[in-house]
Amino acid sequence: MAEVHEIGKARRGKCPNCGKQTEPDYRPFCSARCKTIDLGKWVTGSYRIPTDEVPEESDMEALLRDREDER
């Protein structure tokens, strides 16, 4: 049985920000909002994202764990 390591495929279907099902338009996120929030995590300090919805700390921890598993 061939094992395929395709990160894009393996991670499809779940929004890394909130865990909801992804939308094709916003892959790998479920919405433009989550995409913006995730983007904001990496550019924090550079500029502010005009959103008052921030991910909960527990979500962030889960996300970080998730990314570590990916290595």
Stretch that binds Zn ion, among 6-14, 28-36, 50-58, 62-70 (CB under 5 A): 28-36
> Does residue 18 belong to the site contacting Zn ion (CB under 5 A)?
yes
Reference 33, options 51, 16, 12, 47; nearest CA is 51
> Does residue 37 belong to the site contacting Zn ion (CB under 5 A)?
no
Reference 11, options 35, 34, 26, 27; nearest CA is 27
Task: Name which position in 1, 4, 30, 50 contacts Zn ion (CB under 5 A).
Answer: 30
Sign of CA dihedral 31, 41, 51, 45: negative
Interface positions with Zn ion (CB under 5 A): 15, 17-18, 20, 30, 34
